[in-house]
Structure formats: structure tokens, C-alpha cells
Amino acid sequence: MSLLNRQRLLDRFLRYVQIASTADPTSDGYPSSEGQRELGKLLAQELSKMSAVDVHQDEHGLVYATIPATADAKNLPVVALLAHMDTSPDAPGDRVRPNVVESYDGGEIQLESGEVITPKTCPELVNLVGKTLITTDGTTLLGGDDKAGVAIIAEVAHTLIENPHLPHGELKLVFTCDEEIGHGTDKIDLDKLAADVAYTLDGGGEGIIDVETFSADGATVHFVGDSIHTSIAKGRMVNALRGAADFIAALPRDSDSPEATEGRQGFIHANTITGQVGEVTLNLILRSFDTADLPGYADRLKAIAKSVESDWPGLKVIVDTHKQYRNLGDGLAKLPESIDLAVKAFENLGRPYKKEIIRGGTDGSVLTEKGLPTPNLSSGQHNIHSVREFACLDEMISAGDHLVELLKLWSQQRR
């Protein structure tokens, strides 16, 4: 039996998904869309009403709140829970009309628009028979990524306030903006947050603890040629485009490329190019679970640059790399309890769990590197960034139960 209020969690979730908060990659503002501010305002009101303390929405739109400790807080670790309020620009997010499917029968789910969610294309449905699912009408995404996380955290906060006998240390809540366009951690004030450990509730399905992400560097390659009118180009033109084409052709293809790798394998990936005869800029990303592999990838780019330069006399090829984020696992190793207690909470509840690695990054990758260990946990999301997105209410409740147990375990730790 869950301590969480099922109906209230569902109502909360339905309320949040109906506020359009699509992140806008073309905007210069922060947050990139007004809807994020609007959802944040509502969350701040709801948190104040349930008597959370220090509730405020900061100038960037982020919402902070604190649930005071039930025990002597002095030596207890401070835990933070984070979820992002924006939704992906990859699918329409305006006028979301959620549809609740009670006790899913295992078959195809027909959406109003004609779209269909089928067990064939979404195998995890097989495990969700009898559960409550929330879909859309098929014209928009749902926004369970990450409003499922937002709703779970808000409902857990409410549950803790209503049940003062549940032991926990000081709990901080942070609802963030613009995660979907790579700016989820830009404005988080870690000094203000002053937490010892954090969890993002932004994972798929149920019972998954994301313990590793890629380590990531970006690379920019500048090709500087010499542009001159084609009529007088003989012996004088140096075409940067030719150098860039050769450079891309020399990148690894059958290994160390995204098209040829999976699991723990890393890669070099060329992802944007702009330019003309005189100058070309090529951007690449370097990814590996082993941070120590990244300099090797940079060296390969430099070797290719040298060889292209010698093939095209007069052409300059300059490789610059910059750090993006680091494997979550590197930083979590400094606080193994961040994972161990999450595991123990699942065990105490008698629920299955899985540790997974992500071939990408999370907000937690950045926060962990900045010194706040932040694994990612499941929040009942499915088919994200799609008009066939859905969320599972039972999995959301389960995620909430896990948090309550996890917070109890943290309250048995000392700083």
C-alpha cells in the first residue's frame, strides 16, 4: 500500500501537462519559453499551500522549496530532488489533451488523431497490463518527460508534510528549465541549494538507476583556405571545402562512429558544418564512458588535420577541443551511498531494479561534476519526445514510494 495519494498525483500530473512549456531552441531568453515560468508559478503556489518552506521562483524561472527535516537535522545529509519543467521541442507541446487509460488491457491503444500505440513498437507495454496509463490525443507529446518527475516530487513533498512520522532529513526541491535544449543546469545555484546528494527524476519506466553517462568533449575544426575568383584561381585558390570533405572522409567509420557502436563503445561524430571556399567550421562531438579515451580522440583529429594540411598546401586546419560533461560514474564514485542507498531502498520495498548506463548525458552529469552527486531515477516515462508518448501512473507511484524509502535511509546516515 502506497502512502502517496493516487488521485491527487494523477490530478497534479494532468494539471501540469496541460500547461504548454516547450523549450524553444531559437530563443535567447531564459527560460526559453513563457510556459515554463507559468508552470513554475503554479508549482510555487502549490508548494506554499502545502506548507513547504523557502518556496520561491527565482529570476530565471527555477522553483526552489524546502521540506524541513523531521529529525534533528544538524548532522543529517541534505538531499535534493530535481525535475525539469520544460518539454522537448521535437514534437508539438501546445494544447496537450491528456487521456487516461484505466486498467490497460494489453492491446493496441487507439489515439483520437488516428495514431496507435502498439505493444509491437513499444514492447514495455507488455509489462503494463492492468495499469493506468496517460496518453495524449495523438497530436502532441504528453510531457511526461519530465512532468512525471515534477508531479512525483511535488506529491512526495505533500506526502511527507502530511505524514510527519516519516523520517527524513532536510529535503530540497528544485524544478528546472530548458533541460531539453541543453541548459538544464545553467542557472542552478549549488551554493544556495547546499545539498549533499541529489536525484533527478527523469528516467524511463520503473526501477532504473542511471549510474553512468558518457564523458563528452566537443571539437571545432577550422579550415582556413584562400578564396579567389575561379577565373584566376590556378595555382592560387585554396579551397577550405575540399579540406573539410577530406577530413570528414578520414573520420573512423566502421568503429568509433555512432553508426557502428553501442553499449560501452565510444565514438567521434561530425554533427554540423558551415562555410565556403575561404573558411569552413566543422563541429564534432567526442564520446566515451572512459574519460581517459577523450584525449586519444582529440589526437586522432589532430593527426587527420595534419594529413589534410599536407594534401592541400596552403590550407590551415586548426583543431580545438572543449570539455562538455563527464561520466556521472566518475563523480558518484566519491559518494557510493548515492547509488547504494537507492539500491537498498528498492530491496527494502521488495522491488526489482536495474543499474543502467546512458549513451548521452543527464543534468546529473554536470551537477555531479560540479560536486553534487546526482544519479537519475525512473519516473514512468515512455515513448518520450513523440506524439505517442505516455506515462504510467502506477510506475509514478512506485517511484514516489521509492523516494520516501530512500529519504528514510538517508536520514539514518551522518554527514
Residue ranges binding Zn ion (CB under 5 A): 145-146, 202
- By beta-carbon proximity to Zn ion, the closer residue of 344 and 359 is 359
Q: How far is the CB of 385 from Zn ion (least distance, A)?
A: 9
**Closest by CA position to 98, among listed 13, 204, 34, 206:** 13
In the complex with Zn ion, which residue's Cβ is closer, 30 or 337? 30
Residue from 145, 179, 401, 405 carrying the catalytic annotation: 179
Smaller CB distance to Zn ion: residue 182 or 258? 182
C-alpha cell at 98: 491528456
Nearer Cβ to Zn ion, position 144 or 373?
A: 144
Do residues 310 and 333 make contact, with C-beta atoms less than 8 angstroms apart? no
Task: Tell which residue, 111, 109, 130, has the closest CA to residue 119.
Answer: 109
- Structure-block grid coordinates of residue 160: 511527507
Q: Give one DSSP letter per residue of 246-311, joined into a string.
A: HHHHTS--SSSSGGG--TT--EEEEEEEEE-SSEEEEEEEEEESSGGGHHHHHHHHHHHHHHHHHH
- 86 is an active site residue: yes
Residue tagged active-site, from 24, 46, 86, 217: 86
Q: Is 320 exposed, middle or buried (0-12, 13-18, 19+ CB in 10 A)?
A: exposed
Q: For the chain, what is the largest distance between any 2 Cα atoms, rounded to a whole number of angstroms?
A: 85
Beta carbon of residue 180, minimum distance to Zn ion (angstroms, whole number) = 7
Minimum CB distance to Zn ion, residue 179 (Å): 6
Least CB distance from residue 382 to Zn ion, whole Å?
12
94 in catalytic set: no
DSSP, collapsed to helix, strand or coil, labels residue 317 as: strand
CB of 315 to Zn ion, least distance (A): 42
Radius of gyration (C-alpha) of the chain in whole angstroms? 24
Cα dihedral 403→349→13→391 (10° resolution): 120
How is residue 196 written as a grid cell?
Answer: 549533499
Of the pair 301, 384, the CB lying nearest Zn ion is at: 384
Which residues have a catalytic role annotated?
Answer: 86, 179
